[in-house]
Structure 1
């Protein structure tokens, strides 16, 4: 059985992985002194990292892709926002306070918590004007 290695940028197929790899250079572009590996199929702009290509497509082309959370059905127009949202469905709390070992799902929540240790009173009562830590 002959294996076929198909180019994701054009209709060409190759019998050997090395042949496909050599062919991919025809689709690549040079950024600085580095050869790009990831090409946008909408505008042919090249990117060194796949994550940069994904971000480019989501922002530059607004392809209308909707990213849906499989747990709750909430919809997002950017993949990164979906990834951040998915933390609400897990017990993962990677951000730990060095003062009291409290843990949080997001860096922003930890940052808000740290204000308590610094004695910051960031909230002001709209009625009396008194300030509170939380």
Structure 2
């Protein structure tokens, strides 16, 4: 699957769909603890770890 905007190739259609959001600046996965948002839920899950880490 190839992105019509930049030509990047993907093995799965779903990965192309997520990638295309970056061209449209769509970020539907929103952090509830800060104003950040992400194009896919896996990025949000990784980001949320900074909020759950204990600070000294």
Instruction: Answer yes or no: same fold by TM over 0.5.
Output: yes
Larger RCO (alpha carbons 8 Å, 6+ apart): 2
Displacement of 1:76 after TM fit? 2.5
Structure 1 unaligned blocks of 5 or more:
1-66, 121-134
| Separation of aligned partners in 1, 2:51 and 2:3 | 35
Q: Which residue of 2 aligns with 1:106?
A: 40
Seen in structure 2, the aligned counterparts of structure 1 residues 68 and 116 have a Cα distance that, compared at 3 Å, is: same
Matches within 5 A, 1:1-134: 67-119=1-53
Deviations 1:87-107 (A, max 9, x none): 221211111111113211111
More helix by share: 2
Structure 2 unaligned blocks of 5 or more:
none
Q: Which residue of 2 aligns with 1:27?
A: none
Seen in structure 2, the aligned counterparts of structure 1 residues 77 and 111 have a Cα distance that, compared at 3 Å, is: closer
| Separation of aligned partners in 1, 2:11 and 2:38 | 25
| 2:27–2:38 contact (8 Å) kept in structure 1 | yes
Larger Rg: 1
TM-score, normalising length: structure 2: 0.75
TM-score, normalising length: structure 1: 0.36
More strand by share: 1
CA RMSD of aligned residues (A): 1.6
